[in-house]
Chains A and B, each alone.
Chain A
């Protein structure tokens, strides 16, 4: 083993350790490995007795790689490296994990730094998070751990030839609870699908915002003013947008029957094409294809605030009697709804964006909160399968409420039995091990 002076990596490592000790330590998946902060150490020998060399410090023994194992539940692009730290831990500042591909000719045959760990932190690293140094499936690598000492020295560790290669798995065992939870919820939804299809009478509680849709359209018709429908600012991949487009079809059918002008400004070009088709079809179904105005559904811009300016301008100039804001919204929600409120329109909003709900509740006459947006199409159409899906959601919520209640009861029981915080006896901790919030994410 050579002990060499190598100040740049040590200084950088010291900075690294001071600022974010252990940030690159990859005991948790997802943490990025550091870039190669230093070149592979060259054989620069320390000069004994020189002013720069801290000769008073004793010799530091090297660290060595103990094992290399395949990282579980990945695509075959990670390896877990465990190492034995130097016994002289008080003299070690950091460890530098290096990797090379023996026999390669593409430059990866040289040692490259794949991780730097502060001394005293983890002794295990998951290699493969650094996009500059990816781990390839089925490739054998050599590893070594270099020691960076407190006096600025650099001590190379012995090379460890890995017999294990990275392999991808065909099932992620970490997601078993997600699979079980999803299967239960899907089974419940399908059960209610089939019940509804068999003709079972399923009750849906009245939702004021949905009941008000007819009233709002009628008001616009009586006033002879247009209806403005904003299908959110998100794209077609957003489920809230799809729910909004379904409601748009129902609204457009009624609008066609009443012969009321409709304006549907869009931010996303794909949403625009789908909205246009939906409205056209609604007019056809209402038996009024001749009254369909091709300019009623239009694309505005994909710029968020330019869109707001355009829609606010529409509200100010055209004075629509009814405004619908249904879909996904961000910071523009209040700008739109407040302008609509000032213009005197009746406003119905609905979104699953929790942060925007207070703004809509404050400024709109009716607001569909969260899941009510998804239930609206079932409520308006009353098709058995749609109603069944809503009942399925309710059953899922009932199951979660049961788990919550069980958790509260078990927590109280823990308090009474004095088993709070004891993993072997705590009832709530046993339940938490079975069902975690993470399983639902």
Chain B
């Protein structure tokens, strides 16, 4: 029962949505909207499980004074304080309803800058990865290096100084060999998705069921 019911729901739902794709009638649209409206409801309940998981993990680490346990405090305290700031405290402790509240302060002055910092580190990581990728250790790596130099120089104004042939060659590399490879991967992915969806709908693929699938 634990396995059959979810498989039946998936099969019926999958087939209904496949058929629905070809029917533009308002009845079909209503069915689609009704079906997809369940997703946020399920997500809402799953989030409770997620918060429970992170609480259990870090509480355990704090309780046994595990290695690096202060990090667990740094995780749990803001996680529970932020909803308190958002829901229980007045909008602002400084200036009434018009001024930004403490939640807004914590979000815009702490969380957003930290996230931006993480994202900006990407620039340094790209430089380091590019250095590793473009080391001309073999004939293929050398070819990659030459192609990359041409494409990069073709994208910037300084490339024009060498003549129009450089940007044109860069564009040719992007439009033909590069696009051909991209499309080949996309086609493979498309067929892979199609086959996986069929396997899920017809119960061949049961990994998404977790333990019930075996």
Q: State the A residues within 8 Å of B (CB).
A: 73-77, 137, 168-172, 175, 178-179, 182, 185-186, 189-190, 193, 235-237, 239, 242-243, 245-246, 248-249, 266, 268-270, 272-278, 280-281, 284-285, 294-295, 297-306, 308-309, 313, 317, 331, 334-335, 338, 352, 354, 357-359, 361-363, 369-371, 373-375, 377, 383, 385-386, 389-390, 392-393, 396-397, 400, 440
Which 10 pairs across A and B sit closest by C-beta, in order of nearness? A277-B210, A246-B207, A269-B50, A374-B192, A281-B211, A299-B50, A371-B188, A269-B46, A168-B25, A371-B192
- B204 touches which of A76, A375, A389 (Cβ 8 Å): A389
Assembled-state Cα–Cα distance A171/B114 (Å): 51
- A386 touches which of B49, B68, B204, B212 (Cβ 8 Å): B204
Chain A residue at minimal CB-CB distance from B199: A389
Question: Of B49, B67, B190, which is in contact with the most chain A CB atoms at under 10 Å from its CB?
Answer: B190
Q: State the B residues within 8 Å of A (CB).
A: 21-29, 39, 42-43, 46-51, 53-54, 56-57, 60, 67-68, 71, 111, 114-115, 118-119, 121-122, 125-126, 128-130, 132-133, 182, 185-200, 204-205, 207-214
Q: How far is the CB of B122 from chain A (nearest CB, A)?
A: 6
Count CB-based A-B contacts (< 8 Å): 211
**B118 x A270 contact (CB < 8 A):** no
Assembled-state Cα–Cα distance A305/B119 (Å): 7
Sample 18 A-B pairs with CB under 8 A, ordered by A number: A73-B24, A169-B25, A171-B22, A178-B22, A239-B196, A242-B200, A245-B207, A266-B50, A272-B53, A273-B46, A298-B54, A299-B49, A335-B122, A370-B185, A370-B189, A373-B192, A374-B195, A396-B194
Q: How far is the CB of B89 from chain A (nearest CB, A)?
A: 22
Q: How far is the CB of A362 from chain B (nearest CB, A)?
A: 4
Assembled-state Cα–Cα distance A334/B84 (Å): 35
**B122 x A331 contact (CB < 8 A):** yes
- With A285-B214, A313-B71 given, is the CB distance from A385 to B28 under 8 Å? no
- With A242-B205, A309-B114 given, is the CB distance from A269 to B43 under 8 Å? yes
Q: Chain A at the B interface: mostly helix, strand, loop or mixed?
A: helix
Question: Of A169, A170, A299, which is in contact with the most chain B CB atoms at under 10 Å from its CB?
Answer: A299
Assembled-state Cα–Cα distance A331/B115 (Å): 12
Assembled-state Cα–Cα distance A354/B185 (Å): 8
Chain A residues near B48 (CB, 8 Å)? 269
**A242 x B49 contact (CB < 8 A):** no
**A303 x B211 contact (CB < 8 A):** no
- B43 touches which of A245, A270, A301 (Cβ 8 Å): A270
**A389 x B212 contact (CB < 8 A):** no
- B207 touches which of A171, A242, A269, A302 (Cβ 8 Å): A242
Q: How far is the CB of B17 from chain A (nearest CB, A)?
A: 12
- A393 touches which of B22, B56, B182, B191 (Cβ 8 Å): B191
Chain A residues near B192 (CB, 8 Å)? 239, 243, 352, 370-371, 373-375, 393
**B49 x A273 contact (CB < 8 A):** yes
Chain A residues near B189 (CB, 8 Å)? 352, 354, 370-371, 374
Q: How far is the CB of A188 from chain B (nearest CB, A)?
A: 10
**B132 x A309 contact (CB < 8 A):** no
Assembled-state Cα–Cα distance A396/B200 (Å): 19
Chain B residue at minimal CB-CB distance from A369: B185
Chain A residue at minimal CB-CB distance from B126: A334
**B210 x A137 contact (CB < 8 A):** no
Q: How far is the CB of B26 from chain A (nearest CB, A)?
A: 4
Assembled-state Cα–Cα distance A8/B208 (Å): 58
Chain B residue at minimal CB-CB distance from A361: B133
Question: Of B51, B121, B189, B195, which is in contact with the most chain A CB atoms at under 10 Å from its CB?
Answer: B195
**A75 x B24 contact (CB < 8 A):** yes
**A303 x B115 contact (CB < 8 A):** yes
Chain A residues near B118 (CB, 8 Å)? 305-306, 308-309, 335
Chain A residues near B188 (CB, 8 Å)? 370-371, 393, 397
Assembled-state Cα–Cα distance A282/B114 (Å): 37
Assembled-state Cα–Cα distance A248/B119 (Å): 28
Q: How far is the CB of A438 from chain B (nearest CB, A)?
A: 13
- With A299-B51, A334-B126, A362-B133 given, is the CB distance from A245 to B29 under 8 Å? no
Assembled-state Cα–Cα distance A304/B210 (Å): 24
Chain B residue at minimal CB-CB distance from A245: B207
**B46 x A354 contact (CB < 8 A):** no
Chain A residues near B210 (CB, 8 Å)? 273-278, 280-281
**B208 x A236 contact (CB < 8 A):** yes
